[in-house]
Amino acid sequence: MSRQQREALDALLRSAPRGGTPPTVEEQRSGFTAAVTRPVPEGVTARRTVLGGRPALELEPAGARGRGRLLYLHGGGYVIGSPDSHAGMVGELARRAGLRAVSVDYRLAPEHPFPAAVDDGLAAYRELLAAGTDPGDLVLAGDSAGGGLAVATLLAARDAGLPQPAAVAVFSPWTDLTLTGGSIRSKEGADPVFTAADVRAYADLYIGAGDRAHPLASPVFADLTGLPPLLVQAGANEVLLDDAVRLAGRAGADGVEATLEIGPGLPHVFQHHYGRLDEADAALDRAARFLTARLGAGHPDAGRLEPAR
């Protein structure tokens, strides 16, 4: 893996202007979209759809076979981001896994605070099952707030008596809105993207005066018993590192198969930088392999992995 690539990415992320008048929510949303949006990968078809009563983006790789489906929940602190901003990365994950993916445009705070996002995630999951998707053919993934939301969605599904999917993969998940992880402070200088104040501001917008330790807001405090195999990927240089570490540890303690990967010298959701960071391509490949290997027995896509390009 390239040290030069990591150092160049760190410098690029640190070059983003900071300070001055705090941007409005709308300015944050437009700025984030401009900064992270990448084209849908070649060979992947994007279609607008509706799932669980919310707009969604379906991403279908050429040659996708079988019944396998990927439900994706995007990141952005529950305040910014959309299926469009994440279409490149989700399309890459779908292409490498050979799975049809659907990315849900769940409601954002502050207009729609907790638990609106969880309600939308659960509604999307419920509709996929109601439409005939076998839970053994369904996997979930998400990044940052979407990673926490993916886990919260499965907790809500479990508590509603719904079956669990085959697996879930999360990238740099935000799982503790109480901000009690030690890395919130210890990694602040190493993190080129966020400060503790940044993360706290998103929590304020999403949860307000509510219970920040609620298990559907902060799944690191939940009983994770009964959830499917979990893959957690994070970078060592991020204030949310302990959210990832503690989530994997809690899952293992609750009897869930859990795999934790921490990339040295890497920032928050480094997977966004596929094609220009070797570690990002390798991580997406491993995530795709993890998800497809756990699809229903005999599934034609099980273990299938498209090469990076």
Which positions are catalytic? 144, 238, 268
Indicate the DSSP class of residue 48: E
The dihedrals phi and psi of 56, each to the nearest 5 degrees, come to -150, 160
How many angstroms separate the Cα of 54 from the Cα of each of 50, 96, 121, 125, 138? 5, 26, 10, 12, 19
The count of other CB atoms within 10 Å of the CB of residue 308 is: 16
Closest C-alpha to 85, from 13, 127, 29, 11: 29
> Which residues, at least 6 apart from 119, have a Cβ–Cβ distance to it below 8 Å?
none
Q: Is 222 exposed, middle or buried (0-12, 13-18, 19+ CB in 10 A)?
A: buried
Place of tokens 């809105």: 177
Closest C-alpha to 143, from 273, 291, 269: 269
Tokens of 82: 């959309």
CA–CA separation, 210 and 114 (whole Å): 8
Packing angle between helix 87-97 and helix 278-293, nearest 10 degrees?
A: 50
What's the chain's length in residues? 309
Helices (H), 160-233: 183-186, 196-207
